Amino acid sequence: MARSVFGRFKKALVGAPLPTSAHAEERLTNAEALAILSSDALSSVAYATQEIVLVLGMAGAAGLGFTLPITGLIIALMVIVAISYRQTIKAYPHGGGSYRVSHENLGDLPGLVAGASLSIDYVLTVAVSTAAGIAALTSYLPALDAFRVPLCLAAIAVLMVANLRGVRSSAQILSAPTFIFMGTVLTLVVAGGLKLLQGDLAALPALEQNLRMTEEHGGQLAAVGGVLLMRAFSSGCAALTGIEAISDSVMAFKPIEWRNARRVLTVMVLLLATMFGGISVLAHQLGTVYRENGPTLLYQLGQQVFGNGPLLLLLQLSTLLILLLAANTAYADFPRLANFLAQDGYLPRQLTSLGDRLVFSNGILALSGFAGLLLVIFGGSVTRLIPLYAVGVFLSFTLSQAGMVVHWWREQGRGWLGKALVNGFGSVVTAVVTGVLLYSKFLLGAWLVVVAIPLLVTLFLTIHRHYRSVARRLRLAADVKLTLPPAPSEGGAPVVVLVGQLHRGSFEAVRYARTIAGELVAVHVDLGLGKAEAFREQWQRQLPEIPLVVLESPYRSLIDPVLDFVQRFEVDHRKNRDKFCTVVLPVFVTRHRWENLLHNQSTIALRRALRAQGTRVVATVGFYL
């Protein structure tokens, strides 16, 4: 009963399960991809210039004069990174994220560093985007500022549910706010530029800027120096986060995937450079200043250009929505990255499982939990989260581009030298930027990322060692016919034994089942991973005397097909009341409790479901790891 209630609630919340055959339909058009994969990068214009101005404001009007040179430098960097990733997309048409490129070309450790860096950055993307979105709301409605953290957590909950519903559902939700935001910001830039040319907008005098900045910085201003400029540059580099998202998600596009991905990347960078540059020009020309947790820079510019009319409301509403939904870039990419790491044995295997709506549900839940924790710890403040931001992504940029240099050198195809030089230049530039970010942000919070990356890599390696140890313990010779004990000479129960793979653990369960079975059938559930035929062939080669039934599961459920089969099996054997149908389940017994988290707990759920259905004998055969 409880299971059916939960099932109905889950169906109402995230929608009915989709069959695996619908996976091809869950691809994105270029317009949808621009919305779902570019929202992180495009939305950064809402806070990138703001963070530059916040740092430069420490030196008053003299410091604000460096806003445009720093913006120009960041746009140049943006173009360099985009050109490099266009090459990566074509070279890795099945998804060329930093982890895959680094792991294949530079080795395990650089790949894991890239994976750890990106994992941290995706969590920060959700936290920063959500905090910035709520800041846009509280700028317009200051009374809500006291509820900043609860509002952030509520926003993450909405995003989580939207993504659990599936790729196309989230794309449809995302498209309108993204395009409205782009249109409104471009309108702000054009209208502001025209008003400046016509003399309808007055810049804040330098003296008044200095007075305001002196008041906000404790009565004194800092001198313009190298460290201050590096801090401003590193804060503005938040504008580049999200550029890699498209190269991670090439397979989310409709065919031809790599060509469409490159087109969307080009359009995204052009829009991003125009919007970011335009906002910086307006802020510089108007002398707009910003203080932490005050009205956002974008809100102030909107108020000056649009007044307090409906366009200002539309700007704030679209900013709120795109910043909340910008986190969707991380929701699109973090589960895929976690899936790659889990496939390679560096994260729990559960992260490879597709949920009811053909998304990696466990990755979505994990991302939501970590981002929510960060928002609580840092009080939902964009300025407090920004120092942690971008360090990881630039480190992953560097490793990815260095990996591409090795890729071209190994391949040495047509024009390989020119391609290698492009990626090599990109790698050197992003490496320098990574050093600048670490130097300028280290004491402001970047040290947390520096500590977290090796800890995460250590965790990856610990998990990998466990899985390798388990694989050694479970390994069976693949071509040897296995010997079973004799079946009972008389009597014996009708027995069903569930087998997922043929290894020592499942073989022990089959051996036990053979000793008690008058009639024995092995059951394997095909979850649509394309491995059923190979498993059937292996079974016929190694255990030909035991009948094998392969159950199709178009919705990737292990429990439902088994319950249906066992129910029919029990009905067929109900004639003899002295014999109870027995279901045998193999189960791993780990040495340490934490290791249970690395193994699918489906046996527990299946045993509970069989009991609820009325199966009277359910036996588990433990294999001690």
* Spatial separation of the C-alpha atoms in residues 266 and 247, rounded to whole Å: 12
Predicted pLDDT at 220: 52
Predicted pLDDT at 223: 64
**More confidently predicted of 599 and 88:** 88
Mean pLDDT on 159-178: 72
User: Strands 493-498, 582-589: parallel, antiparallel or unpaired by DSSP?
Assistant: parallel
Answer whether residue 113 shows pLDDT above 90.
yes
Q: What is the CB-side half-sphere exposure of residue 298 using CA atoms within 13 A? A: 37
Which SS3 state, helix, strand or coil, does residue 172 take? Answer: helix
Predicted pLDDT at 71: 95
| Predicted confidence band of residue 356 (pLDDT cuts 50, 70, 90) | low
Answer whether residue 488 shows pLDDT above 50.
yes
What sections of 92-107 are H helices per DSSP? 98-106
- Give me the percent of the chain exceeding a pLDDT of 90: 29
Answer whether residue 33 shows pLDDT above 50.
yes
Least confident of 58-67, 349-358, 504-513: 349-358
Predicted pLDDT at 79: 92
Least confident of 79-88, 92-101, 461-470, 501-510: 92-101
Answer whether residue 206 shows pLDDT above 60.
no
Q: What is the pLDDT of residues 295-306, one digit of tens each?
A: 889 999 999 999
Predicted pLDDT at 500: 86
Answer whether residue 491 shows pLDDT above 80.
no
Cα 294 from chain centroid (whole Å): 30
User: Strands 582-589, 548-552: parallel, antiparallel or unpaired by DSSP?
Assistant: unpaired
Mean pLDDT on 116-125: 89
Answer whether residue 211 shows pLDDT above 60.
no
**More confidently predicted of 540 and 602:** 540
Q: What is the pLDDT of residues 216-268, one digit of tens each?
A: 555 455 566 778 888 889 888 888 877 887 887 787 788 888 899 999 999 99
Predicted pLDDT at 375: 93
- Non-local CB neighbours of 227 within 8 Å, separated by 6+ positions: 440
| Predicted confidence band of residue 611 (pLDDT cuts 50, 70, 90) | confident
Answer whether residue 514 shows pLDDT above 60.
yes
The pair of three-digit structure tokens given for residue 482, joined into one six-digit string: 């296995």
* Spatial separation of the C-alpha atoms in residues 279 and 50, rounded to whole Å: 9
Mean pLDDT on 601-614: 84
| Predicted confidence band of residue 212 (pLDDT cuts 50, 70, 90) | low
Nearest to 330 by CA among 148, 129, 153: 129
Q: What strands, in cross-sheet order, belong to the sheet with 582-589?
A: 548-552, 517-526, 493-498, 582-589, 617-624
Contact 585, 600 (CB under 8 A): no
Q: What are phi and psi of 95, to 5 degrees?
A: 115, 110
- Quickly count: other Cβ atoms within 10 Å of residue 206's Cβ: 14
Predicted pLDDT at 456: 95
Answer whether residue 614 shows pLDDT above 80.
yes
- Non-local CB neighbours of 574 within 8 Å, separated by 6+ positions: none
Residue given tokens 């539309």 in the structure block: 314
Predicted pLDDT at 256: 84
| Predicted confidence band of residue 366 (pLDDT cuts 50, 70, 90) | very high
What is residue 622's DSSP assignment? Answer: E
Q: What is the dihedral of CA 133, 389, 42, 88, to 10 degrees?
A: -150
Residue-averaged pLDDT of the chain: 83
Predicted pLDDT at 590: 81
Answer whether residue 16 shows pLDDT above 60.
no
Longest CA–CA separation in the chain, Å: 102
Mean pLDDT on 280-289: 88
Answer whether residue 103 shows pLDDT above 80.
yes
| Predicted confidence band of residue 411 (pLDDT cuts 50, 70, 90) | confident
| Predicted confidence band of residue 2 (pLDDT cuts 50, 70, 90) | very low
Nearest to 121 by CA among 352, 374, 348, 462: 374
Q: Which H/E stretch holds residue 493?
A: strand 493-498
Q: What is the dihedral of CA 341, 342, 347, 348, to 10 degrees?
A: 170
Predicted pLDDT at 524: 93
What is residue 481's DSSP assignment? Answer: P
Query: Nearest 5 degrees, angle CA 605-CA 595-CA 527?
Result: 45
Mean pLDDT on 368-372: 93
Predicted pLDDT at 43: 84
What sections of 95-166 are H helices per DSSP? 98-106, 108-140, 148-164
Answer whether residue 118 shows pLDDT above 90.
no
Mean pLDDT on 426-431: 90
| Predicted confidence band of residue 182 (pLDDT cuts 50, 70, 90) | very high
Q: What are phi and psi of 525, to 5 degrees?
A: -100, 125
Answer whether residue 291 shows pLDDT above 80.
no
Mean pLDDT on 133-150: 86
Written as one string, the DSSP assignment of 495-536 is: EEEE-SS-SHHHHHHHHHHHHHEEEEEEEEEE-SSS-HHHHH
**More confidently predicted of 281 and 166:** 281
**More confidently predicted of 393 and 23:** 393
| Predicted confidence band of residue 25 (pLDDT cuts 50, 70, 90) | very low
- Give me the percent of the chain exceeding a pLDDT of 70: 89
Which SS3 state, helix, strand or coil, does residue 63 take? Answer: helix
The pair of three-digit structure tokens given for residue 371, joined into one six-digit string: 């981002």
User: Strands 517-526, 493-498: parallel, antiparallel or unpaired by DSSP?
Assistant: parallel
Least confident of 411-415, 465-469, 512-516: 411-415
- Non-local CB neighbours of 107 within 8 Å, separated by 6+ positions: none
